[in-house]
Structure 1
Amino acid sequence: MRLRKMSAVIATAVAAALSLTACDGADNSDAGAAASAPAETSAGPGSPGGAGTTDAAESSPGGGGQASASASAPGSGAPSASSAGDMCRTADLSFSSSGGMAEGEVLIDLENTGSASCSMHGFPGLDLKGEDGTVSAERTSGRSAPTVTLAPGERTNFSLRFPPNTTGGSGVTFTSALVTPPDETHSHSVPLSVNIPAGSGSASRVTVTPVGSGK
């Protein structure tokens, strides 16, 4: 009877010891798990991985450079630096003719009758007209065109050159010249008497010099 009680006491003590050991192991396991778990990061607005990172990307030099280039581009409505306001217009010019330095040459005079200075540069257009038809003068080759500026009342000229009719025949007679100043589209008719030989080749020898070169 005494031996049975002692066995029961021993069994109870062993069970208690085993239970305490198991509890200690569990506590140590939980502590180890807690120690080995990674720290939790926050992606909130104030954290480096949240809105702060996005802001840094948006303010990078690449994005800022494109915005700056777009803002500095000139607008389509920028005023043009060029202006044709000082160009001599047909309506502000008077036209006349005078004898040239040689046979077969006529000077066409252009006077500024406007209220402001104007300028011309280049070859004029000129068509000789008569009962026998029309001949368009060609540009004289090898002649450079000066820029001529005329104050109100000033004049300039250019030369009309043609083969004079020395054949003894009637030739071809023109009674007027239709003159168009450089860079203009409006013409002015000048009374003129020009007689050239009949036949092929004569018309191609009718030429004009640049404005300002006939002085």
Structure 2
Amino acid sequence: MRLQKTSAAVALVAALSLTACDDGSSGSGPAASASAAAPSGTTGAVSPGVTGGPSASDSPGGTGATGATGATGGSGAGYTQASAPAPAALSGGTCRTANLSFSSSGGMAEGEVLINLENTGSASCSMRGFPGLDLTSEDGTVSAGRSSGRSVPTVTLAPGEGTNFSLHFPPDVSGGSGVTFTSALVTPPDETRSHRMPLSVGIPADSGSASRITVDPVGSGK
């Protein structure tokens, strides 16, 4: 009976030895079980930061579909930079009072004065229509009317070029007392600013003389 117990103890020790050897060398231990539990094809489940980080296409500034700069890598969500417009060439706008000089000269007939306008600006300009003209005397101001039967041209003036219009009035030939105007307030067509210039014009003192003062369109005398 004692011999049988000794043989059983020896067998138990041998079995334990075999189990200890299997724990250190075979793939059936806990490590192997953990490895087997990992799903096939997963590369970053156990070691983060090696191959499991974000892909290059997801990073800011990348060249993938979700990159901040898109496929071109520079201009942002499809925007393109517009080229700067070329400087506009100097062209003819409306002639302004500030860019004109004013003078007067004798007309073709008695009772006519030419009002001369010269472009003193750095660019061409144009004007079309009747000017405004007010004659001033000691007794007050008279506004010139518009003459009839005249063409209305468009006048374009290069820098330094000039044009004119005619002022018509009934001349004072009676030798008696009349009305003498000493200045004129001239407003070019399509302008709101006026220029006052010295101008001596004498008309008869009768009540109908003022209504006979008229101006022609600018440039119609050419």
* Shorter-normalised TM range: 0.5 to 0.7
2:179 to 172, 184, 205: 172
Q: In the comparison of the two structures, how many residue pairs are matched?
A: 132
Please report the TM-score for the alignment, with normalisation by the length of structure 1.
0.60
The residue that corresponds to 2:123 in the other structure is 116
Is 1:181 the counterpart of 2:181? The answer is no
CA distance in 1, matches of 2:168, 2:221: 11
Amino acid at match of 1:209: D
| Runs of 4+ more than 2 Å apart | none
Q: SS of the counterpart of 1:175?
A: strand
Relative contact order higher in (CA < 8 Å, ≥ 6 apart): 1
Instruction: Write 1 or 2 for the structure with the bigger share of helix.
Output: 1
- Kindly report which structure 2 residues correspond to 1:1-215, keeping only aligned pairs within 5 A, or say none: 86-215=93-222
Other-structure match for 1:13:
none
In 2, Cα distance between equivalents of 1:132 and 1:167:
19
In structure 2, distance between residues paired with 1:99 and 1:110: 14
Partner of 1:204, secondary structure, is helix
Shift of 1:200: 1.0
1:132 CA displacement? 1.4
Identity %: 83
- For 1:133 and 1:166, locate their aligned partners in 2 and report how far apart those are by CA, in whole Å: 21
Give unmatched runs, 5+ long, in structure 2.
1-90
Instruction: Encode CA deviations 1:17-50: one digit per residue, 9 max, x unaligned.
Output: xxxxxxxxxxxxxxxxxxxxxxxxxxxxxxxxxx
Q: Is the 8 A contact 1:107 1:214 kept in 2?
A: no
1:212 counterpart letter in structure 2: G
Partner of 1:18: none
RMSD: 1.3
Within 1, Cα distance between the matches of 2:174 and 2:207? 14
